[in-house]
Amino acid sequence: MNELKFHWRLTQGGERPGASRGHQASLGETGLADLPQRIRFCKRAEELGIDSLLTDFGWSKPDPMFLACAIGLQTETIKFIVAYRSGLICPTSFVQQLNTLSTLIDGRFSINVIAGDTPEEQHYYGDWLPHDERYARTEEFLAVCRALWRREGPVNFEGKYYKVEGGKINTPFTAPDRDFPELFIAGNSKQAHDLAISQGTIWMQIPDTPAKMQERGADVLAAGKELGVRCSIIGGRTRGEALETAYALVSEKRDGFDDGAKEREFMRKSDSVNVRSTYAMAGESEWLTPWLWTGAVRTHGAPCIAIVGSPRDIADGIEEYVDAGVTQFILAGWPKLESMEFFGEEVLPLIRQPKAIAAAL
């Protein structure tokens, strides 16, 4: 079985603890490098046994590839999950940039390929394809990337969106254990599922119940790919304490910013199946399982579906996904640093504990 890996979301520039996605993006500080703060966060993540930090892509943030480069040069072991949108750069240049990055930081990154959240933001970048075609293009994009990573001679490709003739680059992907980066394909849609099987190494989803995820992911595992979950953690010493924290999160209005309205606006604009289905699910039921809470989704966004409870509850919740075949988790919490420390110190040891010892206790 693949090794279990736990990732966290990297802090934003001028991170505001508890700020929703819409609120954070509206702040000028989000666009700044804010390196000292982020490097401190990364060093703490290294100490806590976190594998990688997700560096988001979006108009409101610095380019994640360059953040990974800058932070990677000043840290030792932490890796990055660099989110990038296909369709904004030609695959040959993309691979050349990533391979160059790999030579500089020992290949300490994987790639989260996203097809784009909202048509509005895609238009900022000059991308006018509708949702389904963006997936078809991503399929071609990654096919060219993977052909370049195989290094089996000049790459010739003739598709609907890309045509490459004699393609080659001299800089190889350089890492101790891989010759191309792990490729996270995120999304709950059929297209994302198919893309993960054809070009990815792992299918990332916003979680549904473990049973449903197991059912949907069976053919992904059969194809030799991994399953991953992206969600939030809301913990406390006891379940009661965790619930209080959870409810406080959605009842507060910060600086007069209406998170619910901002998130509703985002939903109107989004054409992501992933985001829409989670938003819809959150309307149907607040608790999908005894520990999986959708209460923050309608104010804080789809990835804020949360596993809530005591360290034991959270460890159990994660174990259920592991039993369903999930091997990688991209997690976050509020505030990011404290929740990561809680997870690393209180929850992770329970998960890493061999089952036999856990049973004996």
Partner 1 sequence: MPLRFHWSMSSAGEELKGAKARAAVSGIPNLDAHVRFCKVAEECGIESLLTAFGFHRADPIVLAAALGMLTTRIKFMVAVRSGVCSPTLFVQQVNSVAALTGGRICLNVVAGHTPEEQKYYGDFLAHDERYERTDEFLTVCNAFWKGSGEVNFAGKYYTIEKGKLNTPFVAPDRSAPEIFLGGNSPPGEKLAVKHADCMWRLPEPAAKMRDRVRPLVESGIEVGILVSLIVRETHDEAIAATEQLIARFDGAPRRTHEEFAKKSDSVAFTSTYKLANADDWPAPYLWTGAVPYMGAPSVAIVGSPTEVADALFEYRDAGVTQFLFMGWPDLEEMERLSRLVVPLVREREEAETRNAEVAAS
| List of residues contacting partner 1 (CB under 8 A) | 25, 28, 30-33, 35, 59-63, 65-67, 69-70, 73-74, 88-93, 96-97, 99-101, 103-104, 120, 123-128, 144, 155, 162-172, 174
DSSP-derived secondary structure for 348-359: HHHHHS-HHHHH
Closest CA to 7 of 45, 39, 37: 45
Angle at CA 263, nearest 5°, toward 262 and 268? Answer: 100
Residue 32 Cβ vs partner 1, minimum distance, rounded to whole Å: 6
Residue 103 Cβ vs partner 1, minimum distance, rounded to whole Å: 5
If the CB atoms of residues 6 and 149 are measured against partner 1, the closer one turns out to be 149
Residue 174 Cβ vs partner 1, minimum distance, rounded to whole Å: 7
Query: Is 191 in contact with 200 (CB distance < 8 Å)?
Result: no
If the CB atoms of residues 142 and 331 are measured against partner 1, the closer one turns out to be 142
Strand partners, 158: 163
CA 113 to chain centre: 10
If the CB atoms of residues 140 and 182 are measured against partner 1, the closer one turns out to be 140
Residue 58 Cβ vs partner 1, minimum distance, rounded to whole Å: 8
Residue 72 Cβ vs partner 1, minimum distance, rounded to whole Å: 9
DSSP-derived secondary structure for 194-232: HHHHHT-SEEEE----HHHHHHHHHHHHHTT-EEEEEEE
224: left (phi over 0), alpha (psi -120 to 50) or beta: left
Closest CA to 186 of 121, 113, 137: 113
If the CB atoms of residues 152 and 284 are measured against partner 1, the closer one turns out to be 152
If the CB atoms of residues 89 and 273 are measured against partner 1, the closer one turns out to be 89
Residue 168 Cβ vs partner 1, minimum distance, rounded to whole Å: 6
Strands 306-309 and 155-158 turn out to be: unpaired
If the CB atoms of residues 180 and 342 are measured against partner 1, the closer one turns out to be 180
